[in-house]
Amino acid sequence: KTCENNGVVPGAHLVVCERVLLPTDKAGFFGGADNGAAVRVMRVRTADGMPLMVEDNLFDPVKYRFLLDE
């Protein structure tokens, strides 16, 4: 909504979408789902086609497994 409120068109470019193993000390973050793995999605967010920021997120590998097929 921030982009639209400022009169620019938001966008994103996918850099990577993959299943990753979390470091041992972080493996329980999603409750041990999928043997300590996560789905990692990295995107470059844009405003009017210009790069604005890099977004790098981890998602629950069971609940968001579908992201790997998108």
Look at residue 34 and tell me whether its pLDDT is greater than 90.
no
Neighbours of 19 (CB within 10 A): 13
Global pTM reads: 0.84
pLDDT digits over 53-63, tens only? 999 999 999 99
The pLDDT, as a whole number, for residue 44 is 98
Q: What is the dihedral of CA 1, 9, 15, 28, to 10 degrees?
A: 0
Q: What is the Cβ-side half-sphere exposure of residue 11, based on CA atoms within 13 angstroms?
A: 9
